[in-house]
Structure 1
Amino acid sequence: MRAPYPENRCLSTLRETQGQPWSRGAIVNLWDGRKIAPILDFDLPEFHQFRVDHSDRISISGVQEKISVRIENGKLVPTESDGQYILKPVPSMTSLGSREEVPANEHVSMQIAAQAFGIEVPPNGIVFFRDGSPAYIVKRFDRNPATGKKHRQEDFCQLSNRTQVTHGRNYKYAGSYEELGRILRRYCGAYAIEIEKLFRLIVFNYVIGNGDAHFKNFSLVPTPLGDFVLSPAYDLLNTKLHLPTESSMALDFFAGDFETEAFRQNAFYSGADFLELAMRFGMKPERAVKILQSVRSHSDKADALVRVSLLSEAARSNYVAIVRDRTRAVLMGL
Structure 2
Amino acid sequence: MKALTVCPGHLAEGFDRYCPSCTRRLFDGKRVSPCLDFNYDADNADMAENINQLSVSGVQEKLSAVIDNGRIVLTPVGEKGHYIIKPAPVYKHLRFRNQIPANEHLTMQIARQVYKIPTAENGLVFFKNGEAAYITRRFDYDTDGNKIKQEDFSSLAHKTNATHGRNFKYTGSYEDAATLLRSNVAAWQVQMSRFFALVVFNYLFANGDAHLKNFSLQQTSGGDYLLAPAYDLLNTSIHVADEDFALQGGLIPETEYSDIYTRTGHPCRADFETFGRRIGVLPKKMIAILDLFTQEQPEVYALTDRSFLDKKVKRMYRRSYEERLSRFDRKNNKL
Q: If the length of structure 1 is used for normalisation, what is the TM-score?
A: 0.90
Instruction: Describe the SS at the equivalent of 2:27.
Output: coil
CA distance in 1, matches of 2:252, 2:296: 29
CA distance in 2, matches of 1:145, 1:90: 30
Task: Choose the corresponding residue for 2:151, options 140, 148, 154.
Answer: 154
CA distance in 1, matches of 2:159, 2:205: 27
CA distance in 1, matches of 2:6, 2:152: 34
Partner of 1:182: 179
Q: Deviations over 1:190-240 (max 9, x none)?
A: 111000000000000001110000000000001122111100000000000
- How many angstroms does 1:281 deviate by? 0.7
- How many angstroms does 1:11 deviate by? 0.5
Structure 1 counterpart of 2:211, which letter?
Answer: H
Structure 2 counterpart of 1:93, which letter?
Answer: Y
* Between 73-82 and 207-216, the greater mean CA deviation after superposition: 73-82
Task: Choose the corresponding residue for 1:171, options 159, 168, 191.
Answer: 168
* Between 245-254 and 122-131, the greater mean CA deviation after superposition: 245-254
CA distance in 2, matches of 1:103, 1:65: 11
Task: Choose the corresponding residue for 1:41, options 21, 37, 41.
Answer: 37
- How many angstroms does 1:145 deviate by? 4.6
Task: Choose the corresponding residue for 2:65, options 60, 69, 75.
Answer: 69
Asked if 1 retains the 8 angstrom alpha-carbon contact of 2:108 and 2:119, the reply is: yes
Q: Which structure 2 segments of 5+ residues have no match?
A: 50-55
Asked if 2 retains the 8 angstrom alpha-carbon contact of 1:293 and 1:331, the reply is: no
Partner of 2:230: 233
Partner of 2:264: 266
Alignment CA distance shift 1:225-1:90 (3 Å):
same
CA distance in 1, matches of 2:64, 2:28: 17
Q: Deviations over 1:108-142 (max 9, x none)?
A: 00000000111001211111010011100011101
Partner of 2:292: 294
- How many angstroms does 1:86 deviate by? 0.4
- How many angstroms does 1:289 deviate by? 2.1
Partner of 1:307: 305
Structure 2 counterpart of 1:225, which letter?
Answer: G
Alignment CA distance shift 1:329-1:256 (3 Å):
closer
Alignment CA distance shift 1:298-1:36 (3 Å):
farther
Q: Which structure 1 segments of 5+ residues have no match?
A: none
Partner of 2:218: 221
CA distance in 2, matches of 1:4, 1:152: 41
- How many angstroms does 1:35 deviate by? 1.2
| Residue 142 of structure 2 corresponds to residue 144 of structure 1 | yes
Partner of 2:53: none
- How many angstroms does 1:150 deviate by? 2.0
- How many angstroms does 1:312 deviate by? 0.7
Partner of 2:243: 247
Q: Percent identity?
A: 37
* Between 205-214 and 74-83, the greater mean CA deviation after superposition: 74-83
Structure 2 counterpart of 1:137, which letter?
Answer: I
CA distance in 2, matches of 1:143, 1:291: 30
Alignment CA distance shift 1:272-1:165 (3 Å):
same
| Residue 84 of structure 2 corresponds to residue 91 of structure 1 | no
Instruction: Describe the SS at the equivalent of 2:297.
Output: helix
Partner of 1:108: 106
| Residue 189 of structure 2 corresponds to residue 192 of structure 1 | yes
Alignment CA distance shift 1:254-1:10 (3 Å):
closer
Partner of 1:27: 23
Asked if 1 retains the 8 angstrom alpha-carbon contact of 2:62 and 2:87, the reply is: yes
Structure 1 counterpart of 2:28, which letter?
Answer: D
Q: Deviations over 1:6-37 (max 9, x none)?
A: x22111000112x4311110111111111111
CA distance in 2, matches of 1:204, 1:114: 11
Equivalenced residues, count: 321
Task: Choose the corresponding residue for 2:128, options 127, 130, 141.
Answer: 130
- How many angstroms does 1:71 deviate by? 0.7
CA distance in 2, matches of 1:253, 1:300: 29
CA distance in 2, matches of 1:284, 1:124: 31
Q: If the length of structure 2 is used for normalisation, what is the TM-score?
A: 0.90
- How many angstroms does 1:72 deviate by? 1.4
Asked if 2 retains the 8 angstrom alpha-carbon contact of 1:299 and 1:327, the reply is: no
Structure 2 counterpart of 1:332, which letter?
Answer: R
Task: Choose the corresponding residue for 1:10, options 7, 11, 22.
Answer: 7
Structure 2 counterpart of 1:171, which letter?
Answer: F
Instruction: Describe the SS at the equivalent of 1:71.
Output: strand
| Residue 327 of structure 2 corresponds to residue 322 of structure 1 | no
Structure 2 counterpart of 1:321, which letter?
Answer: R
